[in-house]
């Protein structure tokens, strides 16, 4: 992803991105049932770096496994590239944590762009106070070992019913998280930026009392002329 595309994606909403992807036949790109712990943390944009959990088995998931420096959860946190988003497949099961405050802090300090799980985080009040985009289903105090075994790093996963491939572009805002196929990121970002300009014009018109017929979508000749004049006046 180019720096220009990253910067553009920070200026558009996932709602607008969802429409741009829908135009391309992609209907299932918004990760379901995740929400931001800190909606004020800013827009999250980064390439996906993934971690896959499977159901835990009691003889393989004791606290002793965390002493292993090759434990996949720890390795994923320490290898997630700067500017990437760690996306975790926790099988939509928030009854045990996908991670906690210490590991999320480590991601933030290493320069990750954010973290997403379709499960839950422990230490969620502390994570919610951090200036770092983090998304989960709900708070979950139990350690991941009670239900989850970290297994695969940077492989295709499912997160919140969405296929996530390593390198896909992940965008999150106060409303949720969307996944953009890597090869579409540039064109979708550019289109979404144009859509945002138009939607800002429409919102201003509607706030002023104008009706939406002929305006949204833009089919009325007068509305088209007004939009062109608005763009010239605002420099957008």
Residues 195, 201: Cα–Cα separation, whole Å: 10
Dump pLDDT digits (tens) for 165-192: 999 999 999 999 999 999 999 999 999 9
Task: Tell me which fold the domain 27-180 belongs to.
Answer: Glucose Oxidase; domain 1 (3.50.30)
> Exposed, middle or buried, 212 (CB in 10 Å: 0-12/13-18/19+)?
exposed
3-class DSSP assignment, residue 92: coil
CA 154, 159, 162, 164: dihedral to nearest 10 degrees?
A: -10
Q: Model-level pTM?
A: 0.93
Dump pLDDT digits (tens) for 102-154: 999 999 999 999 999 999 999 999 999 999 999 999 999 999 999 999 999 99
Domain boundaries in the chain? 27-180, 188-234
Residues 189, 181: Cα–Cα separation, whole Å: 12
Per-residue confidence band for 66, with pLDDT thresholds at 50, 70 and 90: confident
The candidate with the shortest Cα–Cα distance to 140, out of 158, 117, 119, is 119
Dump pLDDT digits (tens) for 39-59: 999 999 999 999 999 999 999
pLDDT of residue 65: 85
Residues 21, 23: Cα–Cα separation, whole Å: 5
Residues 147, 181: Cα–Cα separation, whole Å: 30
Q: Is the pLDDT of residue 73 over 90?
A: yes
> Exposed, middle or buried, 82 (CB in 10 Å: 0-12/13-18/19+)?
exposed
């Amino acid at each position: 992803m180019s720096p220009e595309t990253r910067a553009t994606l920070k200026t558009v909403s996932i709602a607008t991105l969802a429409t741009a992807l829908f135009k391309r036949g992609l209907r299932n790109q918004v990760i379901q049932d995740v929400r931001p712990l800190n909606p004020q943390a800013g827009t999250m944009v980064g390439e996906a770096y993934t971690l896959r959990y499977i159901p835990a088995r009691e003889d393989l998931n004791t606290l002793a496994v965390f002493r292993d420096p090759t434990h996949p959860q720890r390795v994923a946190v320490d290898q997630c590239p700067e500017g990437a988003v760690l996306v975790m497949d926790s099988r939509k099961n928030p009854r045990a944590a996908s991670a906690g405050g210490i590991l999320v802090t480590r991601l933030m300090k290493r320069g990750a762009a954010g973290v997403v799980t379709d499960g839950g985080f422990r230490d969620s009040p502390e994570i919610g106070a951090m200036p770092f985009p983090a998304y989960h289903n709900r708070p979950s105090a139990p350690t991941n070992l009670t239900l989850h075994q970290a297994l695969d790093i940077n492989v295709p996963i499912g997160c919140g019913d969405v296929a996530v491939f390593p390198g896909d572009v992940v965008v999150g805002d106060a409303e949720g998280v969307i996944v953009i196929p890597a090869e579409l990121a540039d064109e979708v970002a550019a289109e979404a930026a144009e859509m945002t300009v138009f939607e800002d014009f429409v919102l201003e018109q509607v706030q002023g009392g104008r009706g939406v017929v002929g305006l949204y979508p833009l089919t009325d000749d007068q509305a088209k002329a007004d939009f062109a004049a608005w763009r010239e006046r605002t420099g957008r």
